[in-house]
Amino acid sequence: MRDKYRMVFSGSGGQGIITAAVIISEAAVLYENLNAVQTQSYGPAARGGSSRSDVIISKSEIFFPKVIQPNTLICLTQAAYNEFSGIVRPGGILITDSKYVSIEKKVDADQIEIPIYDTVKKEIGNPVVFNICLLGVIIKIKQIVKKESIIKVMEQRIPAGFLNMNIDAIELGMSMTSAIKNEI
């Protein structure tokens, strides 16, 4: 990993974006000896339906917690895509869910359109783990944190009876895509 890795998760309230951002941040800090800052900014945009969570994971101290140009941008609704797609860092990665977003713009980034929601629905049957499957996609594409670190965080946060479904979701996400090797 480069010194700093910046992510923006965007979508709507019920998609578990904040939880996904918190889990990947905790995994980085608690089990990979990195620093992390994770921010939700709510303004007029939130009332219109888009929510956004910024994550910075870094080997060194982080002085400014907001992300201007994310290395990886995730857009889980059309509104979020329309609002945020332009901010992705040139050469970065833009991940969208094909159920929710139609790609309409050219951006200087690897656009990864992937049916996370539909695959979770089909393979696991319970869309509640949509956000965890997304984390599997993210860590497979860029190895920001290890799967094992995510699972350790989930063991602390998720009731025991639901842990296996969450582990299945992360592995499903990892099986849906392949790594991107460019350095951004």
Kindly tell me which of 44 and 90 has the beta carbon lying closer to its own copies. 44
Q: Give the integer Cα–Cα distance in Å for 72 and 2.
A: 13
Q: Which of 8, 20, 22, 144 binds its own copies (CB under 8 A)?
A: 22
Shortest Å, Cβ 28 to its own copies: 8
Shortest distance, position 49 Cβ to its own copies, whole Å:
10
**Residue 91: strand, helix, or coil:** coil
Name which position in 37, 124, 172, 174 contacts its own copies (CB under 8 A): 37
Decide if residue 125 touches its own copies (CB under 8 A): no
At closest approach, how far in Å is the CB of 103 from its own copies? 29
Q: Please report the DSSP string for 53-82 in residue order.
A: EEEEEESS--S----SS-SEEEE-SHHHHH
CA distance 40 to 27: 18
181 binds its own copies (CB under 8 A): no
Distances (CA, A) of 171 to 18, 48, 85, 164, 174: 20, 33, 27, 11, 5
Min dist. Cβ of residue 26 to its own copies (A)? 7
User: What residues from 146 to 165 belong to the interface with its own copies (CB under 8 A)?
Assistant: 156
Question: Is position 25 an interface residue for its own copies (rule: CB under 8 A)?
Answer: yes
Q: Which is nearer to its own copies, 30 or 103 (CB)?
A: 30
**How many residues belong to the site for its own copies (CB under 8 A)?**
27
What pairing do the DSSP bridges indicate for beta strands 72-75 and 51-58? unpaired
Enumerate residues 6+ apart whose C-beta is below 8 A from 84. Answer: 8, 10, 50, 52, 73, 75
Q: Are 17 and 51 in contact (CB under 8 A)?
A: yes
The CB-of-110 to its own copies minimum distance in angstroms stands at 28
What is the distance between the alpha carbons of residues 4 and 75, in angstroms, rounded to a whole number?
A: 21
User: Is residue 61 part of the contact set for its own copies (CB under 8 A)?
Assistant: yes
- Applying CB under 8 A, which residues contact its own copies? 13-14, 18, 22, 25-26, 28-30, 33, 35-44, 46-47, 61-62, 65-66, 156
